[in-house]
Chains A and B, each alone.
Chain A
Amino acid sequence: MIDTATASAFFTSGISQVIGALLFILLAPLVGGIITGLDRKITARMQGRVGPPVLQPFYDIKKLFEKEKMVVTTAENFWVFAYLVFIVISGMLLFANSDLLLVIFALTLAHVFLILGAYSTGSPYAHVGAERELIALMSVEPMIIVAAVGLYMVTGSFETYGIIVSSTAPILLIPCLFIGMVYILTVKLGKSPFDIATSHHAHQELVKGLTTEFSGSTLGMIEIAHLYELVFLLGFLFLFFGLAAPLIGIVVIAAVYLLEIFIDNAASRAKWQFVFKGCWAITLVLGFLNLFALYFVR
């Protein structure tokens, strides 16, 4: 749809990387906030409520930063801040044409920081949340790596711009990997039934799990990081479509997100064993079959 030659000329210039990175830093929280706001609105409608204004996520974050700065240990802020910084960096790298594998590793690093933040509080509830977040991380990691490899095998590039200027949409060759990514997206977004570490819902057997001890501006940083991460994840899914089918891509991703909201509201939380086994089974079956098949298509 878009002239790929012009596009690649633009994307190979260094300036596009700077623009990409800056746009992500500035716009991602706005976009992420609006999507989250819509999410809450649609969720409310599904439950027969009116729901908060679309801009509610921003009000919430503003309020968090006005609260008293209360902590269990000052170290927790350091880890949470490091989490936020590395979520921003991994998104920035994704939108600035970096190697996709390095981007994924930066994202893993960010989550390790968050988990360490929960550990550093020495709280039993946060501890259980941290362990469960770690299980969630272990559950999704293989699929993301396999997806990155799949994108490379189809487009011949690990660099994100190289992937999106591909003349055929990667999803045509790696549909199973896309399905796998959608499956683990539920875990990544912390939505039911896979919200094992912490959750936005009221039903909470682990108090607030991972985020039990975080309040005020500390929690505010986590909320901002979530906005960035949401845009990061949707951006990652867009790689499956690229500039070969941008509109279809946006429509499909929107549909996927609606599906996530629906599942979130329709399902109750699963046991972590199920989350772990499910993600790994999906990765093993869909991931392996699709990668294996690619060797014959290429």
Chain B
Amino acid sequence: MLDMLCFLILFPLIAALLMLILPNGNARDIIVKIAALITAAGSVYLFIETFGKGIRYVSIGNGTVDLIVFVAELVIALFIIAISLKFRKYIVTALGAIQLAFVLYLEYLMHSGVLPAAGELFADEFSMIMTLIIGLIGGIICVYSVGYMRGYHEMHKDVKDHRKLFFFLIFLFLSAMYGVVYSNNLVWLLMFWEITSLCSFLLIGYARDELSWNNAFRALMFNVLGGIAFSAAILYIVAVIGDFGYLFMDKLLASGSAVAIIPAALIGFAGLTKSAQYPFSSWLVGAMVAPTPVSALLHSSTMVKAGVYIIVRFAPIYEMTYTGMALSLVGGITFLIASAVAIGQSNAKKVLAYSTIANLGLVVACAGIGTEAAIWAAILLIIFHAVAKSLLFLSVGSVEHQKHSRDIEDMTGLISEMPKVSVMMLIGIAGMFLAPFGMLISKWAAIVAFIDAMKPFGAVYIMIIAFGSALTVFFWTKWMGKLIEVRHPKTPLAREATPQEMFSLYFLTTLTVLATIFFPLISYDLIIPYLESLGSAVPVLLSSGDIITMFIMTVTIVLLPLSMAYFSNGRTIKGQYMSGRPVDAELNFSGSLGRTMKTDISNYYIEEYFGEEKNCRYGIVISVLILAVLAAILVYTFTSGAVL
């Protein structure tokens, strides 16, 4: 157990260091695959080993490690200050300086006391779910990167080849994610948290042009802001509560809202920045300038998942408090507005980015409510989103390599050119919003959870989710429509993507389907035990009738394609109706003066309602107002001691 937890943190770290040395070439590519495989296998092994054994703690109990952590935090803060000075991003410099001051002050305070050495690392069912997400999805993205990055540099000759650094950062990222998930000691958690911020900064800036650096610095700015809030939470525990024991998450969570609400709110704020909620969402949208595997990594298994992970961890503290409600409203507003913005986008990666922001919003909304049902929904959302979203990003990446475009309009009729990738993309999209796929189950669970939330405010959440789901249906369906809209069939490509890419896509498609089929098991064996370990009675969240209903739908969906065999026989094929005769298969027609008029069909984007700029402005204003109220609540709590 101890070995495995440490192994999963240390092994990717060693692999990362190795990547710095190895030259570009087949040998490195093979080692990347092997390292990814070992990481994934290690995750599965740990999962099996700890399955059904509840929560376990691991003590390292060594002052040296604490020293390393302190030095690491110091180095990170100094690096942020140095690089932001170099690029004249003085706001980031200022934030970095604050962070540095916090770290030093914290060390000064802690120096006098003795930290109890008990259970710095831990693992329970929730950590295991995260382990599988990081190991399997993160691992497969590494494999995908090998083929993708080679193609990337063939396509972008102007970008300098920094693949050594790229693979170093990817593995470091995985290591840090395991660290975030296993840390019980908040100081350690903060260090891993900062490493993920730094890794994402460097990965977003991979192309090293002006746009990339600007977007990377925006990401860094928000994430350092979150890091400051996180350090403030730790400082509060050390300086105000004064009991070093509370630096351990289990003890802090057990202490209840009365003690923990202020640090929990600060950490929740950090979670909002990392999971790209309004008003911080712009960094994740900007992050799409990075190579596609980076986007896949940030959106599905790492980074944003660290943000929601920590918020879900602290959910029991938020339950029935106005603090939690403020956090959850930020999530709800983000879900609603980001879904609306996604309608107005034709860039596939932007649609995916806004849908990620929206889904994370829903997770935050659930976690802020903090009831058992809500946490259940939140964890399901995390799982299903991770699987389907990574599949979507990677398939968009493969399409981009073939079509040299990430615009959904350019994917018109893709199913006849790239049938395999298209079908997998369709499954991924269906996985995001259709019954009986996972996300929809989670949405259903969220509705059920919202009804009983903080009466009478449940009504607000119900409205948010009702309108938000309708928006979701719109933008996903029209994307699906574009994929299958074939004006006249073309010959399929012999090779749709590199073998590594195809393998990754097959793997993730299988995972999406399996997660849907086995979700009752995920619920019974992982999420329910985790909820029970939180100490209160867990209501029946999934009746046998519901499972049967979903089973009926799943079986029908699986059987339906068989009907194609019947429908493909004995039909007369005729051209589309055009109010006249088109001149060619692309449905162009003859205009006056003998000109050939082009027929072009585009999707609806309805910018007047769903424009990005306008809606994002609303999102930012509303969320800033809610955060201001949150700040007022916290100040009141701090001065009066009464938990709101």
Contacts and interface: CB of A to CB of B under 8 A. Distances in A.
Contact of B579 (A105, A119, A145, A207): A207
Interface in B565-622: 567-568, 570-579, 587, 599, 601, 603-604
Contacts of B574: 70-72
A239 interface: no
Contacts of B545: 97-99, 159
B451 interface: yes
B576 A122 contact: yes
B112 interface: no
B473 A123 contact: no
Given A112-B434, A138-B471, A106 B447 contact: no
A89 B444 contact: no
A105 B599 CA distance: 35
A66 to B, nearest CB: 14
Interface in A134-154: 134-135, 137-139, 141-143, 145-146, 149, 152-153
B462 to A, nearest CB: 5
B456 A296 contact: yes
A121 B577 CA distance: 10
Contacts of B55: none
Nearest to A126: B576
Contacts of B570: 69
B639 interface: no
B467 interface: yes
A183 interface: no
Given A72-B574, A81-B563, A124-B576, A131 B604 contact: yes
A238 interface: no
B222 to A, nearest CB: 31
Contacts of A143: 466
Contacts of B536: none
Q: How large is the interface on A (under 10, 10 to 19, 20 to 34, 35 or more residues)?
A: 35 or more
Chain B interface size, under 10 / 10 to 19 / 20 to 34 / 35 or more: 35 or more
A108 B560 contact: no
A194 B78 CA distance: 62
Interface string A169-212: 00000000000000000000000000000000000000100001
Contacts of B467: 142, 280, 283-284
Contacts of B550: 102
Contacts of B577: 123, 125, 207, 212-213
A243 to B, nearest CB: 20
A116 B556 contact: no
Contacts of B482: 119
Given A78-B567, A141-B469, A105 B444 contact: yes
Contact of B573 (A71, A135, A288, A292): A71
B48 interface: no
Given A99-B546, A159-B545, A85 B444 contact: no
29 contacts: A69-B570, A69-B571, A70-B573, A71-B572, A72-B573, A72-B575, A73-B489, A73-B573, A74-B564, A75-B564, A77-B567, A78-B560, A78-B564, A78-B567, A82-B560, A97-B545, A99-B444, A101-B444, A115-B477, A122-B487, A122-B587, A134-B474, A137-B470, A138-B473, A145-B462, A145-B466, A152-B451, A291-B463, A295-B456
Interface of B: 413, 434-435, 440, 444, 447-448, 451, 455-456, 458-460, 462-463, 465-467, 469-471, 473-474, 477-478, 480-482, 484-489, 543, 545-546, 549-550, 552-553, 556, 560-561, 563-564, 567-568, 570-579, 587, 599, 601, 603-604
Given A78-B563, A99-B444, 17 more contacts: A70-B571, A71-B572, A71-B573, A75-B564, A86-B556, A97-B545, A105-B434, A115-B481, A122-B488, A137-B473, A141-B466, A141-B469, A142-B466, A149-B462, A292-B459, A295-B456, A295-B459
User: 9 tightest CB-CB pairs across the interface, nearest first?
Assistant: A295-B456, A119-B481, A141-B470, A77-B567, A123-B576, A122-B487, A142-B466, A105-B435, A291-B459
